[in-house]
Amino acid sequence: MGIQLAIRGGEPTIPSGAIKHWPPIDDTDRKMVMDSLEGGKHTFGPNCVALQEEFAAWNGNRYAITTNGGTAALHMGLVACECGCGDEVIVPAYSWSSSATCVMQHNAIPVFVDIDFDTMNIDVDQIEDAITPKTKAIVVVHLHGLAVDMEAVMAIADKHGLRVIEDACQAHGAKFEGKKVGTLGHCAAFSFNQNKCLVSGEGGMFVTEDEAMHKRAQALWSFGEEVAPTERRDYHVYAMGWNYRNNDLTAAFGRAQLKRLDHYLAAQKENAAALTRELEGTPNLILPTEPPECEHNWYNYTIRFDMEGLAHPHDARAFRDRIVRALNAEGLETGVWQSFILPAMTVFQNKDGYGHGCPWSCPHAAAVDYSAERFPIASKHCDSHTGMTTPLRSPNGPQVATLAGQAIRKVIENADQLEDLPDGEE
């Protein structure tokens, strides 16, 4: 037997405490949050207005609305694009659930398209096959910080008269052909959840270049009213509305973190390069790709395991889980980000979002097929991946990334030690 894995009693590769927590907090964060706390405006306040302006300037957008989360920003995108009852919206079959449930939130119907295995993003070559006379928009998810081929997507959208909503919740600073995501479609959503590259605890941002889309999104964001909270309000509801506004304390934290976002992204890129160097040539390991026209932000460094090479195609998911437990035992913070493809989730299989089969039972809706076997690439990815964020984030440097690579190599090169490991136990 080779080197003994930690899960078998060997010495862990990564010492306890070597990986530092995300995000780093400094005196700027403390001062800005405390100034907000003592400033007396704790709802939508001056830090919210400033965060909108500063993020729009950083990303290159004309309009920005700060929200209480990325999911809210996605819902605002559906409304901005005038998606409604019975309209179909194309969504990748693998993503976070909000990429699809945002469609249902305005009574539209998600239509899933399989992913491209190499990029993990929507397979743009399959989008046109999913378009019907009811299709209104496409949600493109820049998964894990890698931009979708937006040139191809926008060409399809222009050909068929569709709107494109960028789910950039994980993709702050990612680029396609030198342009930042969030400036390539008709509107976009960002998340500022604690796991994201820009953190405010919770929160998000809706962005667009279109004034009419901005106004529609703003109405949904603030109770269906037609004016912003900073303007003179008549408190009259003109359309369906929610309370998706951000608050001043959260926005203050986000502003402080935004000041260091470029530094964070540069560090992630450096750390990802160090990890890739360490992992190159590892047998039965599939590394993430970065097409030449893209600049990855490395929100999540996701690897896949060649289950054919590991002689486990018949129980890929179970053996992948053993690998992940072995990596955790080595001290590596990694896990399965999304363990189900979206069409396989109960809400879609049962087609019962609001009760009585709505929105699929709406007389304006057409039948859709959510059979999981229609999405084989998403399923293959789902059963063979693991990903990591914190080991590549500041304040961790290339030395931590190298340790992470050593832990992965150790487990994969000694995967025979996992053969008789009971499932679900260490």
Q: What is the pLDDT of residues 203-247, one digit of tens each?
A: 999 999 999 999 999 999 987 677 667 676 777 767 778 899 999
Confirm if 157 and 168 have CB atoms less than 8 A apart. Answer: no
Give the number of other Cβ atoms within 10 Å of residue 350's Cβ.
Answer: 11
Q: Which residue range is the domain that position 395 belongs to?
A: 6-23+261-338+379-418
Residues 178, 277 within the same domain: no
How confident is the model over 359-369, as pLDDT tens digits?
999 999 999 99
| pTM of the entire predicted model | 0.95
Residues 227, 267 within the same domain: no
pLDDT of residue 120: 98
How confident is the model over 372-413, as pLDDT tens digits?
999 999 999 999 999 999 999 999 999 999 999 999 999 999
Residues 18, 36 within the same domain: no
Residues 16, 40 within the same domain: no
* CATH code for the domain in which residue 334 is found: 3.90.1150.10
Residue 369: closest CA among 342, 349, 346, 340: 349
Report the distance separating Cα 104 and Cα 149, nearest Å: 25
Under the banding of pLDDT at 50, 70 and 90, the label for residue 426 is very low
Q: How many domains does the chain have?
A: 2
Alpha helices (H) in 97-149, listed in sequence order: 98-104, 127-130
How confident is the model over 98-112, as pLDDT tens digits?
999 999 999 999 999
pLDDT of residue 210: 98
**281-to-227, 277, 287 alpha-carbon distances in Å:** 57, 9, 10
Segment 139-145 mean pLDDT? 98
pLDDT of residue 225: 76
Which of the listed residues 195, 224, 259 is the one where a domain comes to its end?
259
Which of the listed residues 220, 244, 259 is the one where a domain comes to its end?
259
Beta bridge partners of 252: none
Residues 192, 265 within the same domain: no
pLDDT of residue 391: 95
Residues 65, 131 within the same domain: yes
Under the banding of pLDDT at 50, 70 and 90, the label for residue 172 is very high
How confident is the model over 262-300, as pLDDT tens digits?
999 999 999 999 999 999 999 999 999 999 999 999 999
Residues 208, 274 within the same domain: no
Residues 103, 201 within the same domain: yes
Report the distance separating Cα 154 and Cα 160, nearest Å: 10
Residues 248, 276 within the same domain: no
Residues 156, 173 within the same domain: yes
Report the distance separating Cα 343 and Cα 92, nearest Å: 10
Question: Is 355 inside a domain boundary?
Answer: no
Mean of per-residue pLDDT scores for the chain: 95
Question: Is 344 inside a domain boundary?
Answer: no
Cis geometry, peptide bond prior to residue 23 (ω within 30 degrees of 0): yes
Beta bridge partners of 137: 89, 163
Which of the listed residues 259, 294, 314 is the one where a domain comes to its end?
259
Tally: H helices and E strands in the chain = 13, 13
